[in-house]
Each structure stands twice: as structure tokens, then as C-alpha cells.
Structure 1
Amino acid sequence: MPFAVYLLGLAVFAQGTSEFMLSGLIPGIARDLRVSIPAAGLLTSAFAVGMVVGAPLMAVLSLRWSRRFALLAFLVTFLVVHVVGALTTSYAVLLGTRVIAALANAGFLAVAMATAVALAPSDAKGRATSVLLGGVTIACVAGVPGGALLGEMWGWRSAFWAVAVALLPAVVAVLRSVPAGAPAPAGTRARGELRALRRPRLLVLLLLAALVNGGTFCTFTYLAPLLTGDTGIGSSWMPLMLALFGLGSFAGVSVSGRVADRRPIRLLVICGPALAAGWALFALTAGAPVPAVVLVFVQGTLSFAVGSTLISQVLYAATGAPTLAGGFATAALNVGATLGPWLGGLTIGAGLGLRSPLWVSALLVAAALVTAAVAHALGRPPSEKSVEKDQPAEAQ
């Protein structure tokens, strides 16, 4: 795998840290800027909405640029708005920086996916995807707890400064490592790429990715109250529990990177039902600490193994739209990351208890399995047949 792909993963780590760290900084921001906790919470929602809307829009915009210029433009924009966010005393300005940061992050991910796939061997798109998504999982393991620690020690602004500083080596790395003459390939104008994205098989894959990611973030969002409430684990253990989920996520993308290029359907057929069953088992055993701790790691592993494999299959299936495929894949993941927590919150608000998000996660993954089965029955399965021209035959 080219070293430049790992450098792109470093940038994804820094941006992922920014996306997730707000959960631990909300009280400090609300207190410092003299706004309510719900108002401060809108900073997270603004970022999520910006990611969903921005991914396809920024991908279309980037088609006019070389990939190196696009990556640098998005990275520098992301860095600058974090400096502004660290300096501002205005809630409105901070809210605006989160929207702009989300747009830049969405654009960077879309172009980074296309660049990583272009730099990697033609039969290693799954490995390239796993490296980028690995940056997100490492952000969960180290970046988010680190941001919370900085917020406790030196205030929430220090976490914004840390993200800006972490992006500096990524900017230099892109400048030095991504080929200068790497414009979007001939014929990849927006209209042509959009035509390539209308294949039913590809749309099914995007829907599956959204549903699976919805299940993942539905539980992840409410994991701390579940474990401290129903399971009875002390709040002091929550950073470790969140890190354990992140370690499982990293294990999942690592497994996907090794398997998704050669045996993607086998991985999905085995891990998909196991993921749905795991969420249901978690709901049934959440009152006991030992199975809960084990399932935090296992479900993190299965969630990201399945999700990463689906994204790699999107990229295999959309060779005619490499940049917009990355944009729509990013949007699908963020639709899931927005929908899942919303549904989980509805069930908790309805009085169904802290375990109810686990059942929502199980139902979302079950819906993905049913969707895949229906697509297969209709003769349009999200299968290896859609990418057999782009990857080697499965080893026997």
C-alpha cells in the first residue's frame, strides 16, 4: 500500500477527532459562551448535517480540480476554521465554523477515497478504504478521549488548537506525497459521474451502508448511559469502555482490509447476521457487566467490518464515478450516523428504557439484511458480480 494512503488516513484521524470530540466539550462550551446545553449540542447536529449535505456537493465541486489541490483546499479550510473556532467568543461564529468544517471534511473524505483507490493496486480497494476508515476508529480510541482530557485540563479551546496542529503534518504530507498531476480522470464530469451512480446495485449498497452505520451509532451514542444505568458500570470506566469500542472498530476495519478485496460476500454473509444477533444479545444481557464488556468490543468489530466492506464495494461498483462515489458513500454513512441516534433517542423518550437503542440497532441491521435478500431475489444483488472486472476471483 503506498505510504501516501496512510498519510491520508492521518488526516482522516484528525478530522474524525474534531467530529466526535464535541460530545465531551459541550458543558464547557455552553458555560464559556453562555448558551444552554441544547444550544451547544446543536454544534454536533450542525456538523452532521453539513457532512450529509456537503459530501455530494463538495465532491461535485472538486471535479474541476486536481486531487492534490482539492485535498489541500479542504484540509487548509478545515484547519483555518478550527483556529477561528478556538479564538471566537461568539456562539454564532462557532456554529458557522462547524458547518464549514463539516463541508470541508465531507469534501476531503470524498476526494481522499478516490485518491486512495487510485494510488492503491487495482485489487486493493478494500485495503485502501480500511486505512481511511481506520483513521476514524483511531479517533474514537485516542482522539476523542484525548480531546476530552484537554478540555478538562486547559478548556475546550485547547482541543480545537490540538486539531489544527495535528493537521499541519497532513497538509505537508499531501503537498509532498500526492502526485501533482492527479486531476480527475477524463470523462469524470459531474453529469457523467451521476449517470454512473444510477445503477440499482450501487444504490442498494449505499442504503445498506446507511442502515448498518445507523445501527452502529444508535448504540454508540447512548452507550455511556446504558452501561452506567442498566449495566451498573461506574462512570469512571466510561473512557475505557468507549476506547474498547474504538479498539473493536479498529479491529473490524483491519479484518475488512484483509478480506474485503477477495471474499467480500463471505464476510457480509457471516458478519451481517452475526451483527444483528449481537445487538439483540446485547439488549438481553445488558444487565450483566461481563457480557456487556465483551459485546462492546465484539459489536464494534462486527459493525466496522461490515460497514467498511460495504463502502469498499461501493467504490468497486462505481469505477465510472470515483469521486462522487466517495461523496455519496460519505453521505450514506452520515445519514446513518444521524438517523440512528435520532431513532434511539425517540425510543428512550417514549419510556422504553436505556436498552431500547440496542433493539433499534438490531432492527436497522435486520432491515439491511432484508433489503439485501430482496435485492438478490430481484436479480440485483450487491454481490461480487458487480465488481468482478475490478478484483480477482475469490480464492478457493
Structure 2
Amino acid sequence: MTKFEKPESRDWQYWDMAKEAGGAALADAGITYDEVQQVVAGYCFQPSTAGQRAAYGLGLTGVPVYNVNNNCATGSTALMTARQFVGGGVSDCVLALGFEKMKRGALGGGSDGGDFATSPVARHYGVMAAAHGFEMTPPTAQIFGNAAREHMERYGTTEAQLAAVAAKNHRHSADNPNAQFQDVWTVEEILAAKTIHRPLTRLQCSPTSDGAAAALVVSERFLVRHGLHDRAVEIVAQAMTTDTEESFASGSCIDVVGRPMSRAAALQVYRASGLGIEDVDVVELHDCFSVNELLTYEALGMCREGESGKLVESGATTYGGRWVVNPSGGLISKGHPLGATGLAQAAELTWQLRGEAGARQVEGARVGLAHNIGLGGAAVVTLLRGA
């Protein structure tokens, strides 16, 4: 992956960042681009066929390039598509490439930030508006902020517990040179920051970011042919789910922002792999806002429903605890260039499972789990195992 950066802070284009990340993935595997048989490119804010423009910087070999867009789950969608090509025997080596060049400021209500009536997430925001009204605050912060209010009212979750998520992830990012931010903040400082939509403050919200990430997905016979077993991390199981009636039936923002589909994806992965959350050592999950980390603890089965605030407060999700969640700093501190996010999670877990994560290394990490969601909706859960 590239370093994730504040939009407009570096003079580069999306094809430059894609070349940097894709070239690094090829170099890591010790292969050249002419061995790549297909490319899956993920992005949300660039024009059609931007994947071709990005991939052409790596080589002009004529291989198929597929462009995917699944909101904030775009990177993991690219990874899953690549895995399906390899798992189905279509290809032996596929490059999953995600990138985003964004604008400063909060995201709008859809990929174009425009008219809510025609937005792909109009139904989701309609649920929110019916329960909470619609205010003049950034819409994504608003829907997740209202989910946080519901969680507080329903389960007694506190603002300090929400802030503890952000404090943990900012603290983790201090050891990640690829993170957009490396500042450490206390719970008190996070609570005192500017409110974006109550109870979420600025330091509990993921920023807009520029950046790219990439992963090579290869077959077993490719590994044998190239002698790459010592570099390989296995995708043990992977699942994508979308919204069901459960997402909308309750009229709750907790459900409409993705907890049901995250839970369903996790259950599919556990069943397919024969592993459970108790077997996982390190987790990279979609903390677009601090509350979503708490909701995801519950969806993944890390605690019972309503107990996620107590879980983060206990220290169970940081170094020395039961799991280390978001050692990269997560979206809140590492950054969130939409098309790259899911693939950056895969990169972080690969380094962790290889023992190559430096100062943020999770000791003895053998199994990792990635969770990436996009409103609209898509949830992708990936279970990874080291060699």
C-alpha cells in the first residue's frame, strides 16, 4: 500500500498511487506484471475505466481489467472477485488493485454526494429520517451518530466508551508509517474535540484520504512454481452479504448501517472455515466511525449484543488483550480512501501474519480477520491464516 494522505497534500494522480501500490505487491512476490492474468480494480470517485488507466502504469500486456465499485467495501470486493477467479480455476495470478483520489471535506449521501432522492442509500437514510429526523450535519456521520445514540439508550453505552475506540486506534497508528495520522489522543481530548454529530466528535470519524493498496491472489500451483510458500498468506474463507429485510424492518440505525449483514457474513466464514472468533488473533475492521467498531464486535461474536462498550473499555481489543483490533490505526487514524481500504486491511493482516509488522506486531499472530462494509450495502469478511 501507499501511505494514506490528506487529499491534495501530495502532487499525484490516482494512476501514480496505483502504480506505487501495485508495483510494491509485484516486488513483494518477486514476479513481474506479465505473469498477472487478470486485474480487478476498485474505486468510487474516479471515472469509468479508471482501472485501465491505473493498471497501464504497471504494464501493457492486454489482460482483462475489471472495474468494481461497492461503496466503502470496494477494496474487499476487488479482493473477493480476484479470489473467485483463482478459486474457480479461471486464473493462477490475479492482481486486486484499489485506489482513491478524494476531495477534502465530509462525504455526501451517495457516490455523487448529490440528490438524496436518487441516491443508492436513499432507503437507508429514509429509515434514519423516520426515527431521528434529518439534520444539517454530514449524512454519513449523522446515520452512524444516530446508531450510537440508539446503542447508548438501549444498552447504556457511554460517550467515554465510544471515545475509547478512537483513543485505541489513534494510539495504534503511532507505530504505522503508512497511516494518515500518527497523533495519540486521550479519551478526554477526543471527547473535547469538535462535535460532528452528537455523540461523535471529529477524532471519532474517519477522514477522507488519498491512497492505494494492492494484493496478488494466486493459486497453489503458482506458489509451487515460484517457490512462494514462505511468503504466502492463505485466504481460508471469505463471504459477502448485502442487506436483507432485517436491515430495515426494525427502523433502527444500528441495523441499517450494517450490523445484520456483518453478522451474516461472519457466520458464513466461520461455518466454511471451521474456525471461530476464538481462533482469531488480530482483526482489521471497518471503524468508519467509533460506534461501528462497537457494532462490529457484536456482529463478529466478540461479545454479546450490547456489551461492546464494556469490551473496549476492558482492554480486550488492544495489545495484551484477547484480540488486537485495528493495529494499523483503522480507518479512523490510518485513513479511508474508499477503494483502497479493504485491500489495505489485507496488507496489514498479511504483514502481521508474516511477523513483518515492526513496532505494531501482534505477538504470535497466526489467524487474522478482515471486515469491510459499504452502505447500500455490502459487507465482506475475510479469514486469513499465516503459513
Normalised to the residue count of structure 2, the TM-score between the two structures is: 0.28
Indicate the structure with greater helix content: 1
Indicate the structure with greater strand content: 2
